[in-house]
Structure 1
Amino acid sequence: MRLVVARCQVDYAGRLSAHLPMATRVLMIKADGSVLVHSDGGSYKPLNWMSPPCKVTEGVTEDGQVEWLVTSRASGKGPADTLRILLEEIHSDSEHDLGIDPGLQKDGVEKHLQELLADHPASLGTGLTLVRREFPTPIGPVDLMCRDANGESVAVEIKRRGEIDGVEQLTRYLELLNRDPLLTAKGAVRGIFAAQEIKPQAKVLATDRGIQCVTVDYDALRGMDDPTERLF
Protein backbone atom coordinates (compact mmCIF):
# COMPACT_ATOMS: atom_id res chain seq x y z
CA MET A 1 0.00 0.00 0.00
CA ARG A 2 1.19 3.50 -0.85
CA LEU A 3 0.19 6.33 1.49
CA VAL A 4 0.59 9.93 0.41
CA VAL A 5 -0.29 12.96 2.52
CA ALA A 6 -0.54 15.92 0.18
CA ARG A 7 -2.26 19.18 -0.55
CA CYS A 8 -4.28 18.26 -3.61
CA GLN A 9 -7.26 18.92 -5.85
CA VAL A 10 -9.39 16.02 -7.07
CA ASP A 11 -11.77 15.91 -10.03
CA TYR A 12 -13.87 12.90 -10.98
CA ALA A 13 -15.48 12.43 -14.38
CA GLY A 14 -17.68 9.51 -15.35
CA ARG A 15 -21.33 8.74 -14.74
CA LEU A 16 -21.37 12.12 -13.01
CA SER A 17 -18.78 14.74 -12.12
CA ALA A 18 -17.39 15.73 -8.72
CA HIS A 19 -14.85 18.27 -7.56
CA LEU A 20 -12.75 18.48 -4.38
CA PRO A 21 -10.99 21.87 -4.09
CA MET A 22 -7.38 22.17 -3.00
CA ALA A 23 -6.83 20.90 0.56
CA THR A 24 -4.61 18.52 2.52
CA ARG A 25 -5.75 14.91 2.22
CA VAL A 26 -4.57 11.29 2.47
CA LEU A 27 -4.24 9.38 -0.80
CA MET A 28 -4.21 5.58 -0.66
CA ILE A 29 -3.13 3.33 -3.52
CA LYS A 30 -3.87 -0.24 -2.46
CA ALA A 31 -2.32 -3.44 -3.75
CA ASP A 32 -5.69 -4.49 -5.21
CA GLY A 33 -5.52 -1.49 -7.57
CA SER A 34 -8.02 0.75 -5.82
CA VAL A 35 -7.35 4.44 -5.14
CA LEU A 36 -8.99 6.26 -2.22
CA VAL A 37 -9.01 9.91 -1.16
CA HIS A 38 -9.53 10.56 2.56
CA SER A 39 -9.86 13.66 4.71
CA ASP A 40 -9.26 14.01 8.45
CA GLY A 41 -13.01 13.94 9.09
CA GLY A 42 -16.14 12.45 7.64
CA SER A 43 -15.94 9.13 9.45
CA TYR A 44 -14.40 6.12 7.68
CA LYS A 45 -15.70 6.75 4.14
CA PRO A 46 -13.38 8.18 1.48
CA LEU A 47 -14.28 11.51 -0.13
CA ASN A 48 -13.76 9.93 -3.51
CA TRP A 49 -12.33 6.68 -4.83
CA MET A 50 -11.75 4.46 -7.83
CA SER A 51 -12.51 0.77 -7.52
CA PRO A 52 -10.19 -1.85 -9.02
CA PRO A 53 -9.11 -2.61 -11.61
CA CYS A 54 -7.74 0.81 -12.48
CA LYS A 55 -4.51 2.36 -13.70
CA VAL A 56 -2.54 5.22 -12.11
CA THR A 57 -0.42 7.36 -14.43
CA GLU A 58 1.85 9.93 -12.81
CA GLY A 59 2.89 12.96 -14.82
CA VAL A 60 3.35 16.73 -14.85
CA THR A 61 1.00 19.41 -16.19
CA GLU A 62 2.11 22.16 -18.61
CA ASP A 63 2.72 24.49 -15.67
CA GLY A 64 4.91 21.91 -13.89
CA GLN A 65 2.38 20.66 -11.32
CA VAL A 66 2.46 16.97 -10.38
CA GLU A 67 -0.65 15.18 -11.66
CA TRP A 68 -2.05 11.68 -11.16
CA LEU A 69 -4.54 10.39 -13.68
CA VAL A 70 -6.49 7.37 -12.43
CA THR A 71 -8.51 5.57 -15.09
CA SER A 72 -10.86 2.64 -14.73
CA ARG A 73 -11.31 -0.13 -17.26
CA ALA A 74 -14.07 0.84 -19.69
CA SER A 75 -17.20 -1.30 -19.28
CA GLY A 76 -18.17 -1.17 -22.95
CA LYS A 77 -21.15 1.05 -22.14
CA GLY A 78 -19.23 4.30 -22.40
CA PRO A 79 -15.86 5.95 -21.74
CA ALA A 80 -13.74 4.96 -18.74
CA ASP A 81 -14.16 6.85 -15.48
CA THR A 82 -11.28 9.14 -14.55
CA LEU A 83 -9.97 10.60 -11.32
CA ARG A 84 -7.58 13.53 -11.86
CA ILE A 85 -5.49 14.46 -8.82
CA LEU A 86 -3.35 17.62 -8.85
CA LEU A 87 -0.70 17.62 -6.12
CA GLU A 88 0.39 21.07 -4.99
CA GLU A 89 2.58 19.91 -2.07
CA ILE A 90 3.50 16.42 -0.86
CA HIS A 91 4.05 16.16 2.89
CA SER A 92 4.64 12.41 3.08
CA ASP A 93 4.99 9.54 0.61
CA SER A 94 5.56 5.99 1.87
CA GLU A 95 4.94 2.39 0.85
CA HIS A 96 4.07 -0.51 3.15
CA ASP A 97 3.72 -4.25 2.51
CA LEU A 98 0.74 -5.32 4.62
CA GLY A 99 0.79 -8.96 3.53
CA ILE A 100 -2.29 -11.16 3.32
CA ASP A 101 -5.08 -10.16 5.68
CA PRO A 102 -6.78 -13.09 7.47
CA GLY A 103 -10.12 -11.26 7.55
CA LEU A 104 -12.28 -9.99 10.37
CA GLN A 105 -12.91 -12.50 13.14
CA LYS A 106 -16.00 -11.54 15.15
CA ASP A 107 -15.25 -13.53 18.29
CA GLY A 108 -17.93 -11.76 20.30
CA VAL A 109 -20.65 -12.96 17.92
CA GLU A 110 -19.37 -16.56 17.97
CA LYS A 111 -19.19 -16.58 21.76
CA HIS A 112 -22.67 -15.11 22.06
CA LEU A 113 -24.00 -17.69 19.61
CA GLN A 114 -22.65 -20.43 21.85
CA GLU A 115 -24.33 -18.88 24.89
CA LEU A 116 -27.67 -18.51 23.09
CA LEU A 117 -27.62 -22.06 21.72
CA ALA A 118 -26.69 -23.41 25.13
CA ASP A 119 -29.85 -21.75 26.46
CA HIS A 120 -31.94 -22.98 23.51
CA PRO A 121 -30.47 -26.33 22.35
CA ALA A 122 -33.84 -27.43 20.93
CA SER A 123 -33.38 -24.81 18.19
CA LEU A 124 -30.72 -27.14 16.77
CA GLY A 125 -32.98 -30.18 16.79
CA THR A 126 -36.19 -31.39 18.41
CA GLY A 127 -35.62 -32.95 21.82
CA LEU A 128 -32.02 -31.76 22.28
CA THR A 129 -30.98 -30.87 25.82
CA LEU A 130 -27.70 -29.42 27.02
CA VAL A 131 -25.24 -31.60 28.93
CA ARG A 132 -22.32 -29.17 29.11
CA ARG A 133 -20.71 -26.22 27.37
CA GLU A 134 -17.02 -26.48 26.37
CA PHE A 135 -17.01 -30.26 26.72
CA PRO A 136 -13.33 -31.32 26.99
CA THR A 137 -11.48 -33.55 24.54
CA PRO A 138 -7.70 -34.26 24.39
CA ILE A 139 -7.34 -31.73 21.54
CA GLY A 140 -9.60 -29.00 22.90
CA PRO A 141 -13.20 -28.44 23.94
CA VAL A 142 -16.18 -28.99 21.68
CA ASP A 143 -18.61 -26.06 22.01
CA LEU A 144 -21.68 -27.94 23.24
CA MET A 145 -22.34 -31.51 24.34
CA CYS A 146 -26.04 -32.32 24.13
CA ARG A 147 -28.34 -35.32 24.43
CA ASP A 148 -31.21 -36.10 22.07
CA ALA A 149 -34.64 -37.57 22.88
CA ASN A 150 -33.20 -41.10 22.58
CA GLY A 151 -30.45 -40.36 25.08
CA GLU A 152 -27.71 -40.34 22.43
CA SER A 153 -24.83 -37.87 22.71
CA VAL A 154 -24.61 -35.01 20.21
CA ALA A 155 -21.50 -32.82 19.82
CA VAL A 156 -22.14 -29.32 18.48
CA GLU A 157 -19.47 -27.11 16.93
CA ILE A 158 -20.50 -23.45 16.46
CA LYS A 159 -19.03 -20.94 14.02
CA ARG A 160 -20.09 -17.53 12.80
CA ARG A 161 -19.24 -18.63 9.26
CA GLY A 162 -19.10 -22.34 8.58
CA GLU A 163 -16.18 -23.42 6.41
CA ILE A 164 -14.30 -26.65 5.69
CA ASP A 165 -11.86 -26.07 8.57
CA GLY A 166 -14.77 -26.13 11.03
CA VAL A 167 -16.03 -29.44 9.66
CA GLU A 168 -12.53 -30.91 9.95
CA GLN A 169 -12.34 -29.68 13.54
CA LEU A 170 -15.64 -31.32 14.48
CA THR A 171 -14.58 -34.54 12.70
CA ARG A 172 -11.50 -34.76 14.93
CA TYR A 173 -13.60 -34.16 18.04
CA LEU A 174 -16.07 -36.87 17.05
CA GLU A 175 -13.31 -39.40 16.46
CA LEU A 176 -12.06 -38.91 20.03
CA LEU A 177 -15.50 -38.64 21.66
CA ASN A 178 -16.58 -41.93 20.11
CA ARG A 179 -13.80 -43.69 22.01
CA ASP A 180 -15.52 -42.86 25.31
CA PRO A 181 -17.80 -45.78 26.35
CA LEU A 182 -19.86 -43.49 28.61
CA LEU A 183 -20.77 -41.25 25.69
CA THR A 184 -21.48 -44.15 23.31
CA ALA A 185 -23.61 -46.21 25.72
CA LYS A 186 -26.78 -45.32 23.78
CA GLY A 187 -25.10 -45.18 20.37
CA ALA A 188 -22.38 -43.33 18.47
CA VAL A 189 -21.82 -39.66 19.20
CA ARG A 190 -23.15 -37.69 16.23
CA GLY A 191 -22.23 -34.17 15.23
CA ILE A 192 -24.03 -30.93 14.43
CA PHE A 193 -22.21 -28.12 12.64
CA ALA A 194 -24.01 -24.84 13.41
CA ALA A 195 -23.30 -21.42 11.92
CA GLN A 196 -24.98 -18.26 10.69
CA GLU A 197 -23.74 -19.09 7.20
CA ILE A 198 -22.34 -22.39 5.93
CA LYS A 199 -20.30 -22.55 2.74
CA PRO A 200 -21.52 -25.05 0.11
CA GLN A 201 -18.21 -26.94 0.17
CA ALA A 202 -18.46 -27.30 3.96
CA LYS A 203 -22.01 -28.67 3.64
CA VAL A 204 -20.87 -31.29 1.13
CA LEU A 205 -18.01 -32.42 3.36
CA ALA A 206 -20.19 -32.48 6.48
CA THR A 207 -22.90 -34.53 4.74
CA ASP A 208 -20.29 -36.97 3.47
CA ARG A 209 -19.12 -37.50 7.06
CA GLY A 210 -22.58 -37.86 8.53
CA ILE A 211 -22.52 -34.47 10.23
CA GLN A 212 -25.75 -32.45 10.30
CA CYS A 213 -25.56 -28.78 9.25
CA VAL A 214 -27.81 -26.20 10.91
CA THR A 215 -28.01 -22.56 9.82
CA VAL A 216 -28.61 -20.34 12.84
CA ASP A 217 -30.68 -17.13 12.80
CA TYR A 218 -28.73 -14.95 15.24
CA ASP A 219 -31.36 -12.19 15.50
CA ALA A 220 -34.17 -14.70 16.09
CA LEU A 221 -32.16 -16.33 18.89
CA ARG A 222 -31.67 -12.92 20.49
CA GLY A 223 -35.41 -12.29 20.29
CA MET A 224 -34.94 -9.35 17.94
CA ASP A 225 -36.54 -10.95 14.91
CA ASP A 226 -39.91 -12.68 14.99
CA PRO A 227 -40.29 -14.80 11.81
CA THR A 228 -44.10 -14.61 12.13
CA GLU A 229 -43.96 -10.86 11.53
CA ARG A 230 -42.12 -11.12 8.21
CA LEU A 231 -43.90 -10.31 4.96
CA PHE A 232 -41.86 -12.98 3.14
Structure 2
Amino acid sequence: IAFAHLLPNFVECWWDALILDVLICNGLGIWVGLQICKRLEMREYKWVSIKDIHSTSGKLKRAVLQFTPGSWTHVRWLDPTCTYMRFFALCQLVIFWQVSELNTFFLKHIFEMPPSHPIVALRLILIGVIVAPSVRQYYSYTTDTQCKRVGTQCWVYGAIMVTEAILCIKNGKELFERTQAVNIIIWFLLQLMLSIMCVYGFVLWHKYIQYNQG
Protein backbone atom coordinates (compact mmCIF):
# COMPACT_ATOMS: atom_id res chain seq x y z
CA ILE A 1 0.00 0.00 0.00
CA ALA A 2 2.81 2.42 0.87
CA PHE A 3 4.36 2.04 -2.59
CA ALA A 4 1.13 1.82 -4.61
CA HIS A 5 1.62 5.38 -5.88
CA LEU A 6 4.98 4.33 -7.36
CA LEU A 7 4.30 0.79 -8.59
CA PRO A 8 1.05 0.20 -10.50
CA ASN A 9 1.03 -3.55 -9.80
CA PHE A 10 0.81 -2.77 -6.07
CA VAL A 11 -2.65 -1.27 -6.63
CA GLU A 12 -4.92 -4.17 -5.75
CA CYS A 13 -8.10 -4.75 -3.81
CA TRP A 14 -7.98 -5.67 -0.14
CA TRP A 15 -9.09 -9.27 -0.59
CA ASP A 16 -6.37 -9.86 -3.18
CA ALA A 17 -3.69 -8.58 -0.82
CA LEU A 18 -5.09 -10.29 2.28
CA ILE A 19 -6.36 -13.62 0.96
CA LEU A 20 -4.09 -14.38 -2.00
CA ASP A 21 -0.87 -12.76 -0.82
CA VAL A 22 -0.93 -13.10 2.97
CA LEU A 23 -3.02 -16.19 3.66
CA ILE A 24 -2.52 -18.41 0.60
CA CYS A 25 0.87 -17.54 -0.89
CA ASN A 26 2.77 -16.56 2.25
CA GLY A 27 0.77 -18.28 4.97
CA LEU A 28 0.36 -21.59 3.17
CA GLY A 29 3.99 -21.55 2.05
CA ILE A 30 5.20 -20.99 5.61
CA TRP A 31 2.96 -23.76 6.95
CA VAL A 32 4.11 -26.26 4.31
CA GLY A 33 7.74 -25.36 5.00
CA LEU A 34 7.28 -25.90 8.73
CA GLN A 35 5.67 -29.28 8.15
CA ILE A 36 8.55 -30.37 5.91
CA CYS A 37 11.06 -29.26 8.54
CA LYS A 38 9.22 -31.22 11.24
CA ARG A 39 9.26 -34.39 9.14
CA LEU A 40 12.95 -34.01 8.40
CA GLU A 41 13.72 -33.41 12.07
CA MET A 42 11.90 -36.58 13.17
CA ARG A 43 13.41 -38.71 10.43
CA GLU A 44 16.17 -41.16 11.34
CA TYR A 45 19.08 -40.97 8.91
CA LYS A 46 20.88 -44.22 8.14
CA TRP A 47 23.31 -44.08 5.26
CA VAL A 48 24.53 -47.32 3.67
CA SER A 49 26.96 -47.61 0.80
CA ILE A 50 25.29 -48.47 -2.48
CA LYS A 51 27.77 -51.34 -2.83
CA ASP A 52 26.27 -53.01 0.24
CA ILE A 53 22.76 -52.99 -1.24
CA HIS A 54 21.99 -56.05 -3.34
CA SER A 55 18.49 -55.40 -4.70
CA THR A 56 17.92 -53.20 -7.74
CA SER A 57 15.09 -51.29 -6.09
CA GLY A 58 17.28 -50.69 -3.06
CA LYS A 59 20.08 -49.32 -5.22
CA LEU A 60 17.64 -46.99 -7.00
CA LYS A 61 16.24 -45.78 -3.69
CA ARG A 62 19.74 -45.18 -2.37
CA ALA A 63 20.62 -43.23 -5.52
CA VAL A 64 17.60 -40.97 -5.02
CA LEU A 65 18.44 -40.50 -1.33
CA GLN A 66 21.85 -39.23 -2.41
CA PHE A 67 20.16 -35.89 -3.16
CA THR A 68 18.55 -35.61 0.28
CA PRO A 69 20.25 -34.10 3.36
CA GLY A 70 22.97 -36.14 5.01
CA SER A 71 21.79 -34.85 8.38
CA TRP A 72 19.32 -32.32 9.72
CA THR A 73 20.10 -29.60 12.23
CA HIS A 74 17.35 -28.40 14.54
CA VAL A 75 16.79 -24.73 13.76
CA ARG A 76 15.54 -22.58 16.63
CA TRP A 77 15.74 -18.89 15.94
CA LEU A 78 14.28 -18.01 19.32
CA ASP A 79 14.01 -19.69 22.69
CA PRO A 80 12.99 -18.49 26.15
CA THR A 81 16.62 -17.92 27.16
CA CYS A 82 17.65 -15.93 24.09
CA THR A 83 19.04 -12.43 24.49
CA TYR A 84 17.61 -9.20 23.14
CA MET A 85 20.43 -9.08 20.60
CA ARG A 86 19.08 -12.22 18.96
CA PHE A 87 15.60 -10.74 19.08
CA PHE A 88 16.67 -7.59 17.23
CA ALA A 89 18.85 -9.60 14.83
CA LEU A 90 15.78 -11.54 13.72
CA CYS A 91 13.81 -8.31 13.29
CA GLN A 92 16.69 -6.99 11.19
CA LEU A 93 16.55 -10.09 9.01
CA VAL A 94 12.84 -9.52 8.37
CA ILE A 95 13.47 -5.91 7.29
CA PHE A 96 16.34 -6.93 5.01
CA TRP A 97 14.14 -9.50 3.34
CA GLN A 98 11.44 -6.89 2.80
CA VAL A 99 14.00 -4.64 1.09
CA SER A 100 15.06 -7.53 -1.15
CA GLU A 101 11.47 -8.12 -2.20
CA LEU A 102 11.00 -4.42 -2.94
CA ASN A 103 14.13 -4.49 -5.09
CA THR A 104 12.50 -7.16 -7.24
CA PHE A 105 9.49 -5.01 -8.07
CA PHE A 106 11.40 -1.76 -8.51
CA LEU A 107 13.99 -3.34 -10.81
CA LYS A 108 11.26 -4.73 -13.05
CA HIS A 109 9.43 -1.42 -13.16
CA ILE A 110 12.40 0.92 -13.60
CA PHE A 111 14.15 -1.16 -16.27
CA GLU A 112 10.81 -2.06 -17.91
CA MET A 113 11.20 -5.82 -17.81
CA PRO A 114 8.07 -7.99 -17.85
CA PRO A 115 7.80 -10.81 -15.29
CA SER A 116 8.40 -13.34 -18.08
CA HIS A 117 11.78 -11.81 -18.98
CA PRO A 118 14.62 -14.36 -18.54
CA ILE A 119 16.71 -11.90 -16.53
CA VAL A 120 13.93 -11.65 -13.95
CA ALA A 121 13.74 -15.42 -13.60
CA LEU A 122 17.53 -15.81 -13.48
CA ARG A 123 17.82 -13.14 -10.81
CA LEU A 124 15.21 -14.84 -8.63
CA ILE A 125 16.99 -18.19 -9.01
CA LEU A 126 20.36 -16.60 -8.22
CA ILE A 127 18.99 -14.81 -5.16
CA GLY A 128 17.37 -18.04 -3.99
CA VAL A 129 20.67 -19.92 -4.29
CA ILE A 130 22.60 -17.16 -2.50
CA VAL A 131 20.05 -16.72 0.28
CA ALA A 132 20.26 -20.34 1.51
CA PRO A 133 23.88 -20.23 2.78
CA SER A 134 23.52 -16.56 3.73
CA VAL A 135 20.64 -17.20 6.12
CA ARG A 136 22.48 -20.21 7.51
CA GLN A 137 25.55 -18.08 8.24
CA TYR A 138 23.37 -15.37 9.75
CA TYR A 139 21.67 -18.00 11.91
CA SER A 140 25.03 -19.28 13.15
CA TYR A 141 26.16 -15.75 13.94
CA THR A 142 22.91 -15.02 15.77
CA THR A 143 22.61 -18.20 17.82
CA ASP A 144 26.18 -19.44 18.30
CA THR A 145 28.03 -17.55 21.04
CA GLN A 146 31.37 -18.77 19.68
CA CYS A 147 30.71 -17.24 16.25
CA LYS A 148 32.14 -13.72 16.35
CA ARG A 149 31.54 -12.54 12.78
CA VAL A 150 29.08 -12.93 9.93
CA GLY A 151 30.05 -15.33 7.15
CA THR A 152 31.36 -14.21 3.77
CA GLN A 153 28.29 -15.35 1.86
CA CYS A 154 26.08 -13.27 4.13
CA TRP A 155 28.17 -10.19 3.36
CA VAL A 156 27.91 -10.94 -0.36
CA TYR A 157 24.13 -11.10 -0.15
CA GLY A 158 24.03 -7.85 1.81
CA ALA A 159 26.20 -6.17 -0.82
CA ILE A 160 23.89 -7.40 -3.58
CA MET A 161 20.84 -6.10 -1.75
CA VAL A 162 22.38 -2.66 -1.19
CA THR A 163 23.68 -2.50 -4.78
CA GLU A 164 20.25 -3.28 -6.18
CA ALA A 165 18.70 -0.60 -3.99
CA ILE A 166 21.28 1.95 -5.19
CA LEU A 167 20.60 1.02 -8.82
CA CYS A 168 16.89 1.54 -8.27
CA ILE A 169 17.42 4.94 -6.67
CA LYS A 170 19.95 6.08 -9.29
CA ASN A 171 17.95 5.03 -12.35
CA GLY A 172 14.53 5.84 -10.95
CA LYS A 173 15.00 9.48 -10.02
CA GLU A 174 11.85 10.56 -11.84
CA LEU A 175 9.90 7.80 -10.16
CA PHE A 176 11.15 8.55 -6.66
CA GLU A 177 10.52 12.27 -7.10
CA ARG A 178 6.84 11.39 -6.73
CA THR A 179 7.50 9.57 -3.49
CA GLN A 180 5.10 10.33 -0.68
CA ALA A 181 7.55 10.39 2.19
CA VAL A 182 4.85 10.10 4.82
CA ASN A 183 3.66 6.79 3.39
CA ILE A 184 7.19 5.41 3.33
CA ILE A 185 7.87 6.45 6.91
CA ILE A 186 4.59 4.92 8.06
CA TRP A 187 5.41 1.73 6.14
CA PHE A 188 8.84 1.50 7.75
CA LEU A 189 7.48 2.08 11.24
CA LEU A 190 4.75 -0.50 10.68
CA GLN A 191 7.28 -3.02 9.39
CA LEU A 192 9.45 -2.41 12.44
CA MET A 193 6.55 -2.63 14.87
CA LEU A 194 4.99 -5.73 13.28
CA SER A 195 8.36 -7.48 13.09
CA ILE A 196 8.98 -6.87 16.79
CA MET A 197 5.44 -7.92 17.72
CA CYS A 198 5.62 -11.14 15.67
CA VAL A 199 9.02 -12.14 16.97
CA TYR A 200 8.07 -11.34 20.57
CA GLY A 201 4.82 -13.24 20.13
CA PHE A 202 6.72 -16.34 19.03
CA VAL A 203 8.95 -16.05 22.10
CA LEU A 204 5.93 -15.91 24.39
CA TRP A 205 4.31 -18.83 22.57
CA HIS A 206 7.46 -20.91 22.91
CA LYS A 207 7.59 -20.13 26.63
CA TYR A 208 3.95 -21.16 26.95
CA ILE A 209 4.57 -24.48 25.17
CA GLN A 210 7.61 -25.25 27.30
CA TYR A 211 5.73 -24.36 30.49
CA ASN A 212 2.89 -26.75 29.63
CA GLN A 213 5.31 -29.53 28.70
CA GLY A 214 7.27 -29.03 31.90
Larger Rg: 1
TM-score of the alignment, normalized to the shorter chain, above 0.5: no
Bigger relative CO (Cα 8 Å, ≥ 6 apart): 2
TM-score scaled by length of structure 2: 0.22
TM-score scaled by length of structure 1: 0.20
